[in-house]
Structure 1
C-alpha cells in the first residue's frame, strides 16, 4: 500500500513547504550499509551503529535534538569520529558538527573496533563482532527492517508535531493521550519498549504490515485516527473501519486512502521520499 502510494504521489518540489521541517535524517539511510563493499569497513559501520543505536533512539524519543545529521554526517559517524583534537580542516569541521548534533555520549560509544569485546547485544541476541565483516543475510535483513521502522515511526512523530502542535503543547494530559495514540500504531507496549523487544516471530508483531487483515486492522484504525486530525485529511479517515463478514474490501479502500494521504503529505513537508514500513523476512 505504501509503495503504491509513493509511486502515485506528486513529486513536484514546488509542493514542498520549505523551512517547516529539519532536512536532516533522524536515523541513517539504509544505503549506508547496503553500499559498503569492503568487509572491514562494513564491520566498523555495523559495530559503531550497534554500539550507539540504543542511546540515540532514547535521545530522539525523549530529548529530540533541534538538528539532525545529513547522510554525509552519518557516514562520518559510522567511520568513527576521532575524539582527539583535529586540525581545522573542512573534514574536521564537519566531524565537529556531527559531534555537536549527536552528542559526546553517542560519539564515545562508537569508537571503532579498538578494544571492542567479542560480542555485542542487539535485539536480545549476542552478535559476534567478527561476523560483521560478512554478516548473515538474515541479520542484514533484520537490521534494515528495524531502520525502516525507526525512520517511519519518527518521521510520523515529527510530522504530527509540526502539523498539529496543539496536542503536544497544550497540557500534559493531552500530550500523553496523543503520544499514546501515536505509539499504538506500532506493536509493542509504548515508546522505547517497541525497539527493545526481540525481533518479530510471527505476523502478529508486524502491525500495519501484518499479512492478515484482522491482525493489521487495529493498527490501521489507529493510523487513520491520527491522520484524520491533520489538515486536509480525507473525511473517511474519521470513521472506524470494520470487516464485514470476512469482506476486507472496505479495509483496503480506507487503508489505501490513508497511505496516499500520508505519503503525499510527508513529501510535501519533507521534500524527499518519506521512510515507509516494509515487510519483515522471518528467520
Structure 2
C-alpha cells in the first residue's frame, strides 16, 4: 500500500536519477518501511526526515503531499481510490498491475545502469573529447527505444518487452524493442554469442522461431552479463497477463 500512496512522488524522483541524492534499492525499501513503522525508532526517524525532504523538493513540480502527515496520503491507482478488501490488501488486479510496474521500472533502470557501467562516460579534452561525450549521451536515445515511453513511466497498454498479447508465446509486439535491445548490447565490450554479433534476424510472419531463439539468446546474455558485473540477479520483464 505504501507504494500506491507515494507512487507519484517516487516516480518523479526516479525520473531524476542524477538530481541530488541517489538512492539505492535498499534505501528505497527503507523509505517505504519508515511509513509502515517497520524500523527502529532511530532508523524510522531518519528515513522519515529523508522522505519529507523529497516531498518538499517535489512541490515545485506539482506533487502535492502533506509532509506533516505522510501516512494519511490516500492510495490511488489510475486516479481512483484503491479499494481495500477485508484481508487488508487491495484488489488482486491492482496488486498485479502495481507489482508488474515495479518489475518493469527495475528492469529499465537496471539496463541503463549496466550500460553506464560497461560504457562509462568517456574522458577527453578539446573538441574530440566533447564529441565523445556527445556520442555517449546520445546512447540515452538508443536505450529509450528499448521500451515505449519513458523508462520510469511504464504503461500496461503498451508493455514493450513485457508484451504478450493473449499468449506469452506471441512475440510480434516485442520485436521492435528486441531490435533496440540488440543494438544496445552489440556495442558492449567482451565476447558475445555468435547470433548477437550478427544482424537482427529477418522477420517472417509464417515462422517466428528464429526470433524466439534470438530473444532467448539475448535474454540469457543480458542476465549473465548483469550477474557478472553486479554479482546479483537482474530484474527481467514479466508478462502482464
- Name the TM tier (shorter chain): 0.7 to 0.9
1:215 aligned onto 2:176: no
> Which residue in the other structure is 2:133 paired with?
171
Please give the secondary structure, in 1, of the residue aligned with 2:112: helix
> Which residue in the other structure is 2:61 paired with?
none
Equivalent of residue 142 in structure 1, options 97, 106, 121: 97
User: Any unmatched runs of 5+ in structure 1?
Assistant: 1-45, 82-89
CA distance in 1, matches of 2:68, 2:133: 36
Is the Cα–Cα contact under 8 Å of residues 185 and 207 in structure 1 kept in the other structure?
Answer: yes
Q: Judging changes above 3 Å, is the alpha-carbon distance between structure 1 residues 96 and 167 closer, same or farther for their aligned structure 2 residues?
A: farther
Q: How does 1:206-245 map to 2 (within 5 A)?
A: 206-211=159-164, 212-234=170-192, 235-238=194-197, 239-244=199-204
Q: Number of aligned pairs?
A: 213
Q: How does 1:1-283 map to 2 (within 5 A)?
A: 46=1, 48-64=2-18, 65-70=21-26, 73-74=30-31, 76-79=33-36, 91-95=40-44, 98=47, 104-106=53-55, 108=67, 111-113=70-72, 116-117=73-74, 120-122=75-77, 124-128=78-82, 130-131=84-85, 133-166=88-121, 170-172=132-134, 174-175=136-137, 177-188=138-149, 190-192=150-152, 194-195=153-154, 197=155, 199-200=156-157, 205-211=158-164, 212-234=170-192, 235-238=194-197, 239-244=199-204, 246-281=206-241
> Which residue in the other structure is 1:4 paired with?
none
> Which residue in the other structure is 1:40 paired with?
none
Single out whichever of 65-74 and 153-162 deviates more from structure 2. Answer: 65-74
Q: Judging changes above 3 Å, is the alpha-carbon distance between structure 1 residues 280 and 182 closer, same or farther for their aligned structure 2 residues?
A: same
CA distance in 2, matches of 1:157, 1:100: 29
Please give the secondary structure, in 1, of the residue aligned with 2:172: helix
Determine which structure has greater relative contact order: mean sequence separation of CA pairs < 8 Å that are 6+ residues apart, divided by chain length: 1
Q: Which runs of structure 1 show a deviation greater than 6 angstroms over 4 or more consecutive aligned residues? A: none
Deviations 1:129-177 (A, max 9, x none): 65592311111111111111011111111111111123799434641x3
CA distance in 1, matches of 2:202, 2:49: 48
Is the Cα–Cα contact under 8 Å of residues 167 and 178 in structure 1 kept in the other structure?
Answer: no
Is the Cα–Cα contact under 8 Å of residues 52 and 109 in structure 1 kept in the other structure?
Answer: no
CA distance in 1, matches of 2:187, 2:69: 40
- Aligned Cα root-mean-square deviation (Å): 3.2
Is the Cα–Cα contact under 8 Å of residues 34 and 47 in structure 2 kept in the other structure?
Answer: yes
CA distance in 2, matches of 1:226, 1:262: 11
Please give the secondary structure, in 2, of the residue aligned with 1:166: coil
CA distance in 2, matches of 1:256, 1:100: 45
Please give the secondary structure, in 2, of the residue aligned with 1:274: coil
